[in-house]
Structure 1
Amino acid sequence: MSSISDIIERYLKSILNESENGVIEIKRSELADLFQCVPSQINYVISTRFTIEKGYIVESKRGGGGFIRIQKVRYKNRREIFEEMLEKIGDAIPQLAAEHVISHLLEKNLMTQREAMLMQRLISRETLQLPVRIRDQIRAKMMRILITTLFSKGE
């Protein structure tokens, strides 16, 4: 059985996919009413499942006329995606952000499920048992190498 977060995520992704311009605007309170949940549940879904690492830009305006705008990042070509991924990784990356990058690549069909699983195991804190600062730097270096290899296989 799916959690309410999964259901909300699927709903938002479906209306986003139906949108002509890849942008939706929603009201947090209306969405909470629709799913009979608290507005903080909507915040949780948006902040954890619609991140820049996963390929979304989120803009929020609070108050009476407030809204949440979710936009799917559109790339022109593989090179643009590759450059964006390297930029997101930077010189250091925490595990959660790295996992979001991996899931974004998987959603875009730029890697197989097996490649994603291997990459996740390789960059996990269980594998990289080092102090956090060093671990995040090594994880970023490994992610850049893996993604460079991944993108070079298709060209």
Structure 2
Amino acid sequence: MASLSDVIEEYIIGIMAHADKDSIDIQRNILAQRFQCAPSQINYVLTTRFSNDRGYVVESRRGGGGYVRIYKMNVDGNDHIEKIIRDSIGDSLTKTRAESIINSLIDNNIINEREKHIMTRALSDRSLKKIFHGDRNTIRADLLKEMLLILV
């Protein structure tokens, strides 16, 4: 069974797929009412599922007539990879964050499902535990950078 966050994400992506332009405007409170959840749940989905790493820009205007505008960026594979290496990985990378970055590569058709699974497995805590007894997040960051450089 899909989580509420998954359902909200799919709903927003569906709206974007049927939009006539590269952006959509939504109202946080209306979405929260539709899914019978708190507006903070909508914020969580927007923050985690519609981030720059995943090829989106989210603008928010608060107040009575407030809205959230979501843009789907036109992503060039090499530019996207270079941006991830430069802005998103850093010196340390959690497993969850690595999976989010890998999912953005899938979302933007930069890698395929098989490559996703290989990368995810190679960067898993289980795999890294076997070869590295120190800070796994440091080695994970270095490994993902090296994998991404191959794609450029």
TM range (shorter): 0.7 to 0.9
Q: Residue 93 of structure 2 contacts residue 141 of structure 2 at CA under 8 Å; is this kept in 1?
A: yes
Distance 1:48 1:94 in 2: 14
Q: In the alignment, which residue of structure 1 is the partner of 2:31?
A: 31
Q: Aligned runs of 1:1-155 on 2, under 5 Å?
A: 1-75=1-75, 77-87=76-86, 88-129=88-129, 130-131=133-134, 134-149=135-150, 151=151
Over the residues paired in the alignment, what is the CA RMSD in angstroms? 2.1
> SS in structure 2 opposite 1:68?
strand
Q: Residue 59 of structure 1 contacts residue 68 of structure 1 at CA under 8 Å; is this kept in 2?
A: yes
Equivalenced residue count is 148
TM-score, with structure 1 as normaliser: 0.81
Deviation at 1:111, TM superposition (A): 1.6
Distance 1:52 1:96 in 2: 16
Deviation at 1:119, TM superposition (A): 0.9
Unpaired runs of 5+ in structure 2?
A: none
Distance 2:125 2:69 in 1: 33
TM-score, with structure 2 as normaliser: 0.82
Instruction: Encode CA deviations 1:87-132: one digit per residue, 9 max, x unaligned.
Output: 222333222221111001112222221211121121122333445x
> SS in structure 2 opposite 1:70?
strand
Unpaired runs of 5+ in structure 1?
A: none
Q: Residue 55 of structure 2 contacts residue 108 of structure 2 at CA under 8 Å; is this kept in 1?
A: no
Distance 2:31 2:61 in 1: 15
